[in-house]
Structure 1
Amino acid sequence: MRETLRTRLGWLHGWAGFVAGLLAACIFMTGTLSVFDTEITRWMQPENRVPAKTALTDTALDAASSLIHEQQLHGVPVFLALPSVRSPTLDVLHYDGRQFVGTRFDPRTGMPIPVRATMGGTFFFSFHYTLLEGVTGTRIVNIIGVALLVAIISGTVIHIRALVPDIVRLRLSAARLRGWLDAHLLAGVLVLPFTVMIVYTGVLVNAGLILPATSLAHLLAPEKPGTPATSGTKAATAARRPLPPLAPLLAIARCSLQGRDAGFILFSPDHLSIYASDASGPFLTRDHADFSLPDGRLLGATTTPGPVAHAMQVMHGLHYARFAPLGLRWLYFVSGLCATATIASGLVLFLMKRRSRSGHRIGFRVGESLTIATLTGLPISILAFLWCNHLLPASMAGRERLETGCFLGIWILCTGHAGLQSSRLHMNAAWRPQLRLIGLLGGGLPVLDVLTCPRAVYALPALHTALDGMGLLAAATALYVRHRLGSDRT
């Protein structure tokens, strides 16, 4: 009976892991990059050379207030993002239907910073969160998360008896199948608590989308900034009301929010709301202080009470990790890489176990070409996205769409290349050139950075070293795997 159960769980683990894993690898890969989405945006906007921890001045707040008033005259609903450790600029932003765009101000002088248009790190967050498909994509991501939890539980059960011996006797240099299995187990066990936490909280964040009757998560989920309801006549009414000086209001709001720093300000026709920063702690709240317009009188502070609401706030905080200091953020990043490696090695294992008896079938060849498109095509597309950002002229109109088009176009080409080689039953002929291309693009990223943005590299060396180092890590990993493939013709 026990062996029958393990056999059935093995079938469930294999198929659920493979079907969900093709998308889960993409979600985890882009989600890992999203840990540093703000830093990636700064790297992709080298014109922004404002150092971290720059003090915010009243001059900059006054300049932002003037622009906000002007935008309201034109009926544009805007919000003000305040400086933080990760993003030291003062930003007046609005939502254009795809992303938040607007003007960045130097917090010291109040002068606009003419940065290039780009989705930046927000692109990776959007892909991770919605697969670039809006609400439908978010539902798919949640379903993949549930399937991944099933694969994790079934995998733990079937490997639990021999788990410790397999890890202790790590046989990466043994037979290829045994080596991949040991690597899969090692990477999976190292980050099992993190993987379970990040998948569970990710599913819980949008549980209402796949369980419409369960509205608790939807009701308690934090609001997204930048979507105030001022439009049409209301926006015109708001525009006629002058804004009071913001600096005193920020000081009052800090006291009303129990000493927490402010993160952003939303503007309504008759009041403005100053929201607590997401970096204030592990509770991702939307607590805010409201002030009347135009006199700036404190109306009160709004908080979310109750243990259930606090539990949901912790779940959101753990998943988004906006509170995390630099060291914890790097731990999230490394854990995300290990989780991605676990999924990737699982996909390869699934195909290796079935190659001898199913390698000639169309379904198998489609599955392997999709695996190649996921594990090598996606990294190539990500690196091409970064290269495109630095190579396109900074003043080009619509350049953010060209960056996105480059990403999708390269990914389609990689998928087509894998499918072509699959039809010839020479899959290594697809793996090798794509791995070499990762090595070329990743290894060349620091050179590209120095040649195209020398002033930014000099002004923010730590930021550019970290981002360029990620490219070098991707290149080294790809070239190592390419070396291990040897010269087999399969």
Structure 2
Amino acid sequence: MRETFRTHMGWLHSWVGFLGGLVLTAIFATGTLAVFDKEITQWMQPEVVLKANSVTATPVALHHAAETMQAEQQQGRFAFITLPSWRDPVIRVLHYDGHEFIGPVLDPIDGHLFPARQTAGGQFFFDFHFALRSGPVLGCTIVTILGICLLVAIGSGIAIQIKAMWPDLIVFRPFGARPRAWLDAHLITGVLFLPFLIMITYTGTAIRARGILPPHPLLVARHSEQTAQKADDRPKGGRKAAAQQTDLLPPPLAPLIAEAKERLQTDKCELILFSKTEIRIFRSDEASLFLSRDMVSFSRADGHYLGTHIQNGAAAKTTQLIHGLHYARFSTRLLLWLYFVSGFACTVLMASGLVLFLIKRRKNAGNRIMFRLAEGLTLATFIGLPISIMGLFWANRLLPVNMPERLSAETDVFFALWALSCLHGVLFSILKKPLIGWQLQITALAIMAMGVPALDICSQTHSWLHDATRYYVLDILVFLLGLSALFSLTILKRRSV
């Protein structure tokens, strides 16, 4: 009975893990990079000079930010302002383009606009992780369903490995036979980072679960009431009066920010939204583990205080905790690195699971077309995705700064390289030369990754005024990835002899 249960759990773990793992590996990889989304954006906009100590916006800079915001809104964009923080010490006037939040960047001291290049930045990885760049409905639904599948795979994996878990954990054989080495990597990352894996998967699934469930009739009724109330609150006189209010420059923001901090009892505010009649200043996400949307509202016409919205109660606090744990915006730099390392380990866990799936079935099903297709897709996921990411970094440095539709061109390079990697991997697998396919793509990864720092230096786009500890760390990490790929290539060629 027990062996039958383990057999069924093994089948469930293998197939659910493989079919979901092809996409989940990419989701976890981009989510890991999204931990440092702000820092990646800074690397991809080297024209923006980062001054480590300038984390407070001056009244002059806020005035220029308000003017920039108004100009953006007059062009039909729903623009808002983000204030300087320890991770991103600049003022940004952002709008949502359907995938990322992009917009002008201002100096927090004098408010001048930086001539920053158009780029998706680290927001690209956040959007891919969150919605596969397929929109807030389709993409988020797919990611949520895959999160549920991952929870199933985790449970079945624990069921089949609980007995052998401890002996396999204390003996790691990275240079052993291929199945043994891959299994050890899979088990060790799975056991050591199991709490993080469960936490990040559960919270990520819970955040979006409501989007795939039918709404309760009571919630629909309440939403209708709120919509009607908002319609009643619109300025009298129709669109003309609303447009006139939007054309008015907002009152000075510095006193409003100071009052908002006092009313919210915090020393950090980060986000300023502008409606036709209101200015809403939100508590910073970095202020607490509980990621809230507490805010203070002011009149857009004259800046007088309208009200304070603070979410309390057990349900609200639970939701805030779930969001806070998943997004990790409260973190210190040490905790951010722990999230990054844990996310990388979970990516290795899923990628090694894909390879194990193929190794176990190569003998009996190696000549079948479905196996060949699966092997090509695994290669595109395991190696093709990092190649595409390196291609995105290369495109950021090589594309002309003033090129029209530059942001789209960068992302097109990413997806074109990924599609080419997939086609290349499937072709070599169908031709029964998968090892050559792996070697070629690992070689390409090593060259592109090790070339990024050299390209960054040769392009001379960076300023030596940058805070080196936050700016050049990406060059170092990418170079280490290239060295790892080169090391893997030597091992692969040695075993193929």
TM-score for both structures, normalised by structure 1: 0.94
Does 2:253 match 1:246? yes
Q: Quick one: distance in 1 between partners of 2:190 and 2:270?
A: 36
Mark the CA change 1:234 to 1:26 in structure 2 (over 3 Å): closer, same or farther: farther
SS at match of 2:103: strand
Q: Quick one: distance in 1 between partners of 2:249 and 2:403?
A: 35
CA contact (8 A) 1:80 1:264 kept: yes
CA-to-aligned-CA distance 1:354-405 (integer Å, 9 cap, x gap): 0000000001001010000000001000000001100111111111111011
CA-to-aligned-CA distance 1:270-320 (integer Å, 9 cap, x gap): 221101111111111111001123221111210111111100111001111
Tell me the residue number matched to 1:64: 65
Q: Quick one: distance in 2 between partners of 1:323 and 1:233?
A: 42
CA contact (8 A) 1:436 1:479 kept: yes
Cα displacement (A) at 1:252: 0.4
Q: Quick one: distance in 1 between partners of 2:398 and 2:312?
A: 50
Tell me the residue number matched to 1:386: 393
Q: Quick one: distance in 2 between partners of 1:74 and 1:464?
A: 33
Q: Quick one: distance in 1 between partners of 2:118 and 2:59?
A: 27
The within-5 A match list for 1:113-152 is 113-134=114-135, 135-152=137-154
CA contact (8 A) 2:67 2:249 kept: no
CA contact (8 A) 2:49 2:465 kept: no
Does 2:265 match 1:258? yes
SS at match of 1:318: helix
Q: Quick one: distance in 2 between partners of 1:249 and 1:309?
A: 26
Shifted more, 58-67 versus 311-320: the winner is: 58-67
SS at match of 2:104: strand
Cα displacement (A) at 1:76: 3.8
Q: Quick one: distance in 2 between partners of 1:185 and 1:388?
A: 37
Shifted more, 411-420 versus 451-460: the winner is: 451-460
Tell me the residue number matched to 2:105: 104
State which of 199, 204, 207 in structure 2 corresponds to 1:205.
207
CA contact (8 A) 1:207 1:214 kept: no
Q: Quick one: distance in 2 between partners of 1:468 and 1:397?
A: 27
Tell me the residue number matched to 1:42: 42
Tell me the residue number matched to 1:342: 349
Does 2:434 match 1:404? no
CA contact (8 A) 1:436 1:482 kept: yes
Q: Quick one: distance in 2 between partners of 1:49 and 1:385?
A: 22
Does 2:3 match 1:3? yes
CA contact (8 A) 1:449 1:457 kept: no
The letter of the residue matching 1:78 is A
The aligned length equals 482
Q: Quick one: distance in 2 between partners of 1:438 and 1:250?
A: 47
Cα displacement (A) at 1:61: 0.9
The letter of the residue matching 1:284 is L
Instruction: Tell me how large the CA RMSD over aligned residues is.
Output: 2.2
Q: Quick one: distance in 2 between partners of 1:276 and 1:150?
A: 36
Cα displacement (A) at 1:72: 4.2
Determine what percentage of the aligned residue pairs are the same residue: 45
Q: Quick one: distance in 2 between partners of 1:169 and 1:264?
A: 49
The within-5 A match list for 1:289-308 is 289-308=296-315
CA contact (8 A) 2:449 2:482 kept: yes
CA contact (8 A) 2:90 2:105 kept: yes
Does 2:413 match 1:413? no
Q: Moved runs in structure 1, 4+ residues, more than 6 A?
A: 214-220
The letter of the residue matching 2:153 is A
The letter of the residue matching 2:369 is I
Tell me the residue number matched to 1:27: 27
SS at match of 2:433: coil
Q: Quick one: distance in 2 between partners of 1:165 and 1:215?
A: 53
Cα displacement (A) at 1:458: 5.5
Q: Quick one: distance in 2 between partners of 1:448 and 1:25?
A: 28
Mark the CA change 1:256 to 1:167 in structure 2 (over 3 Å): closer, same or farther: same
Cα displacement (A) at 1:46: 0.3
Q: Quick one: distance in 1 between partners of 2:252 and 2:359?
A: 66
Cα displacement (A) at 1:268: 1.6
The letter of the residue matching 1:56 is A
The within-5 A match list for 1:421-436 is 421-436=428-443
Tell me the residue number matched to 1:226: none
Tell me the residue number matched to 2:231: none
Cα displacement (A) at 1:143: 0.8
Shifted more, 153-162 versus 206-215: the winner is: 206-215
Tell me the residue number matched to 2:226: none
Q: Quick one: distance in 1 between partners of 2:371 and 2:104?
A: 50
Task: Give structure 2 stretches of 5+ with no counterpart.
Answer: 224-233
Shifted more, 29-38 versus 70-79: the winner is: 70-79
CA-to-aligned-CA distance 1:406-427 (integer Å, 9 cap, x gap): 0011111111111110111111
CA contact (8 A) 2:271 2:282 kept: yes
Cα displacement (A) at 1:432: 0.5
Q: Quick one: distance in 2 between partners of 1:76 and 1:486?
A: 54
Q: Quick one: distance in 1 between partners of 2:256 and 2:307?
A: 12
CA contact (8 A) 2:47 2:461 kept: no
CA-to-aligned-CA distance 1:210-269 (integer Å, 9 cap, x gap): 22247999999xxxxxxxx99965751322444211111110000111124111111122
State which of 451, 457, 472 in structure 1 corresponds to 2:458.
451
Shifted more, 145-154 versus 208-217: the winner is: 208-217
CA contact (8 A) 2:120 2:407 kept: yes
CA contact (8 A) 1:106 1:112 kept: yes
SS at match of 1:33: helix
Cα displacement (A) at 1:50: 2.4
CA-to-aligned-CA distance 1:167-226 (integer Å, 9 cap, x gap): 122222322211211111011111110011000000001001222247999999xxxxxx
